[in-house]
Amino acid sequence: MTVSSNSDAPLLQVNELKTHFPIRKGVFSRIGGYVQAVDGVSLTINQGETLGLVGESGSGKSTFGKSVMRLVEPTSGEVRIDGVDITKSSRSEMFNHRRKVQMVFQDPYSSLNPRIPVGRIVAEAIRLHGIASGREAEDMVVDIFRRVGLQPSQTRNYANEFSGGQRQRIGIARALALSPKLIIADEPVSALDVSVQAQVINLFSDLQKDLGLSYLFIAHDLAVVAQISHRIAVMYLGRIVEVAERHELFKNPRHPYTKALVAAIPTPNPKIKPSADRALKGDIPSPSNPPAGCRFHTRCPLAEPRCKQEVPQLKISSSGHAVACHLA
């Protein structure tokens, strides 16, 4: 089943995607089981839209993002970009795909080569993809640097000479170099100071307005995701439990996990005191041994006997709000 807002054919359409990692045990590296990091996820992203993806640590957000890039191999399912299923693409087709979809990572430092001037890092991406070369490529780099709020002279500096926020701008510049349609941003502001976070979040918004980009914006901070996303998908242990428009999700969260998540965010307003019962009890189960039935049932305050046995399907209402819960 597919969850989409009502517009033209989506830019990205993911159907029943599964990415499982083998767990190897013992001297003969026998496969002792699988981590079901992503286990049957269907999502769409339209042109010019931002889909936010939130969920606890280990819920499979990064694995989902990397699977869409085929940086990890999906186990099954489809990933359609402009209608083409890239899980079956050849190497050369993938090269084309990478131009359309680019990734920005959490730690901008480890993803930038410290021995090459940052301008050349961006220029090389342009040359590699045969977009431009020589002088023309250099001019493009200067343009892109301006666009992300860096000085043209800074192209000559090395990554370690930049602050965290500036490095993240360089990471974004490198992604933009190929004029992608979709950027997958995996926790792009989590490592930044609050005062610098705002600069980078605003940059993402401005670029979207100017270039019509689409984003898959992955973060565990719901407030950050809310600031930038049109729609938000909530992931729990490898599955999507709820998808809705931003306002709908906050005004009318329907999955017990989403409700707990929304209630758990501390509000920067000392007059609002949280209720003592807002915290979920219990720890997050392991994705290599997820609970049967609804994966949330071990922590759910509403769980009924059938929640332990039957897997709730993601059901979509006419307004486009989708929930996977027997009681919602």
Ligand X SMILES: Nc1ncnc2c1ncn2[C@@H]1O[C@H](COP(=O)(O)OP(=O)(O)OP(=O)(O)O)[C@@H](O)[C@H]1O
User: Which positions touch ligand X (CB under 6 A)?
Assistant: 21, 35, 37, 55, 57-63, 220, 287
For residue 83, the 8-state DSSP code is: T
What is the phi/psi pair of residue 77, to 5°? 100, 180
30 has which bridge partners?
Answer: 25
Q: Which does 326 bind (CB under 5 to 8 A by kind): ligand SF4, ligand X, other proteins, none?
A: ligand SF4
Is the distance from CB of 55 to CB of 41 less than 8 angstroms? no
The answer to whether 239 contacts ligand SF4 (rule: CB under 6 A) is no
Of residues 123 and 232, the one with the C-beta less far from other proteins: 232
245: number of Cβ within 10 Å: 17
Of residues 284 and 316, the one with the C-beta less far from ligand X: 284
The answer to whether 312 contacts ligand SF4 (rule: CB under 6 A) is yes
The answer to whether 256 contacts ligand SF4 (rule: CB under 6 A) is yes
| Cα gap 296→241, rounded to integer Å | 9
Query: Which of the stretches 78-86, 156-164, 201-209, 320-328 binds ligand SF4 when contact is defined by CB under 6 A?
Result: 320-328
Q: Which residues bind other proteins (CB under 8 A)?
A: 56-57, 163, 165-166, 193-199, 201-202, 205, 220, 222-224, 226-227, 246-247, 250-251, 260-262, 264-274, 276, 278-284
| Cα gap 18→119, rounded to integer Å | 37
Chosen residue from 19, 44, 59, 62 binding Mg ion by CB under 5 A:
62
CB of 266 to ligand X, least distance (A): 17
Q: Which does 74 bind (CB under 5 to 8 A by kind): ligand X, Mg ion, ligand SF4, none?
A: none
Token pair, residue 226, equals 């809310």
Of residues 66 and 299, the one with the C-beta less far from other proteins: 299
The number of C-alpha atoms within 13 Å of 149 and in the hemisphere containing its C-beta is 17
Q: 165 CB contacts (<8 Å, ≥6 apart)? A: 192, 193, 196, 197, 199, 200
Number of residues that bind ligand SF4 (CB under 6 A): 13
Q: Which does 60 bind (CB under 5 to 8 A by kind): other proteins, ligand X, ligand SF4, none?
A: ligand X
H or E element, residue 26: none
Is the distance from CB of 307 to CB of 55 less than 8 angstroms? no
Residues lying near Mg ion in the complex (CB under 5 A)? 62
